[in-house]
């Protein structure tokens, strides 16, 4: 009887731990607590090979795969789930960043510039270092004054 109670207690503690750090919805997606997400972001930031395109190892698939494996092992999640979670966080950060930039471009005063409320925004600002602004290209063919060269 004591053994059963001891095992039940351990099981209950494990369930409490899992419930405090993970939440699985019916679709199989894992929801992490805010604290756990902060830990994931910090560990992701330390693995430059996963996000810093200026690094020579960035294109090395083997090294990146090992880095993802280390990260997923650290948090006890499948690699694919962790990659999807990071991608979602990056998309959310980019959306918030675009809101800030749009409000600045709109000519808003410094007091009315959009200030992100999402907790992960400042944590992911290290991604600014890896972004490179590219020149835009157009697929439109430029027409030279077609109307002015016609004779009426």
Q: Over the stretch 103-147, which tens digit does the pLDDT of each residue have?
A: 887 776 767 788 899 999 999 999 987 765 556 677 776 655 555
Average pLDDT over residues 96-102: 89
Does residue 71 carry a pLDDT above 90? yes
- Rounded to 5 degrees, φ, ψ at 31 are -105, 125
CA dist 36 and 43 (Å) reads: 11
- Global pTM? 0.65
CA dist 123 and 96 (Å) reads: 12
- Quickly tell me which residue has 């925004």 as its tokens: 121
């Amino acid at each position: 009887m004591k053994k059963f109670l001891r095992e039940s207690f351990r099981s209950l503690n494990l369930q409490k731990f899992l419930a405090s750090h993970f939440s699985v919805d019916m679709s199989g997606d894992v929801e992490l607590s805010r604290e756990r997400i902060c830990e994931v972001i910090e560990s992701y930031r330390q693995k430059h090979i996963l996000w810093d395109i200026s690094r020579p190892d960035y294109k090395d698939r083997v090294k990146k795969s090992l880095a993802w494996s280390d990260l997923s092992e650290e948090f006890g999640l499948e690699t694919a789930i962790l990659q999807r979670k990071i991608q979602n966080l990056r998309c959310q950060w980019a959306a918030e960043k675009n809101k800030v930039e749009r409000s600045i471009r709109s000519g808003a005063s410094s007091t009315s510039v959009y200030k992100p409320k999402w907790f992960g925004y400042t944590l992911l600002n290290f991604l600014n270092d890896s972004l490179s602004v590219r020149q835009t290209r157009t697929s439109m063919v430029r027409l030279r004054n077609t109307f002015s060269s016609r004779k009426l």
